[in-house]
Structure 1
Amino acid sequence: MPTTAKDSILNLPNILTLLRIAAIPLLVILLLSPSREAGFWAAALFAIASITDWLDGYLARRMGIETVFGKFLDPIADKLIVMAALIMLLPYNRVPAWMVLVILGREIIITGLRGVASTEGLVIPASNLGKFKTIFQIVAILGLLLHYEYHWFFAIDLPILTVNMHNIGMFYLWIATIITIWSGVDYLVKFSRVIAK
């Protein structure tokens, strides 16, 4: 039986991607409050969404149902949820505005260049820097969403067993920002070389 356009779009990996996009408004609503509880649930939702980012790609390859729609939508879903989280954290001064500008600016520029390259039939090889960038962004945002101090080991209130999640988030955000700039420059260089040829 031939596969219809509807069947090629509404498969499990693509549904997971669509659910990730559908989670964005809920994430935004949760982050309207700076409370500890709202941050915890926002972090839980963001973590689940991040797991589906890995899972949808794995399932698409495993099930042999990679589609053009999925390849287009998956990176957009990733960028949208990262942008939503970072922008919603700005009013609470949990993240420097210039870092958000660098991260979002890089995504917009590279997405635009990929669009230009694809219309010209050009393929620009991706590097592992993009994967590392995404991993560090996810860890950073989780820390920034949790924000407050947490006690480990059955809530024993000892300084040595206390961790400040905001500091952890900022540590990883610095790494993510550096890799973001590095991967952006790397892509621009590759784009220039391909265009020059």
Structure 2
Amino acid sequence: MRLKVLTCLVAVAALYAPQASAGSKIRVETRTYDVTGASGIELIQNINRKGPKRGFMAHAIALTAYSASWDLVMLRRNGSCRVRQANGTMDLVFTFPRVVSPMSPALKRRWSRFMAGTHAHEATHGRLARDMMRAAERSAVGLETTDDPSCSKARREAGRRIEAVSAQYEAKQKAFDVTEHRGGGHVEHLVLALIKP
């Protein structure tokens, strides 16, 4: 499961100033929430009560949330404006369940397999978010506008391009979740493997 939290645009103007290429930065944080249970069914029931919210009522097993902000470095010359750099910063937060009650050796093995699959699922969401940042940066850098001494047209167009890329990757995130969460899909197999006696 993934959650896109925020995308905002911040502009920084520069006049003939040489800039080192900073590029996008990804800050990653991993959080956990505690679950208990002596069986796979009890663990899933606890996850269903305590897992991160995905909407108003439903709880996810795990969650990937991200927010992105952008600093645009502009180069102004003779009334034109060019986006010299699009430096994005993404906060990428993974949330996973953590068992805090004793487990039998058999349940511990099943939990380890369950969590390996859960981590793989969320890692795909994280990869798509990182890919989005790179694609958004490429979409904005080099953009040039004429008759734009204040760079307002360039900022608007760069923001539009970044949002378009974000929407494209958000669609990829949703398509991935639809495939993974469908009946008989990867997530169902993980859950069934955990709760089998």
Using the size of structure 1 for normalisation, the TM-score is 0.35
Of structures 1 and 2, the one with the larger relative CO (CA 8 A, separation 6+) is 2
Name which one, 1 or 2, has greater alpha-carbon Rg. Answer: 2
Using the size of structure 2 for normalisation, the TM-score is 0.35
Higher relative strand content: 2
Higher relative helix content: 1
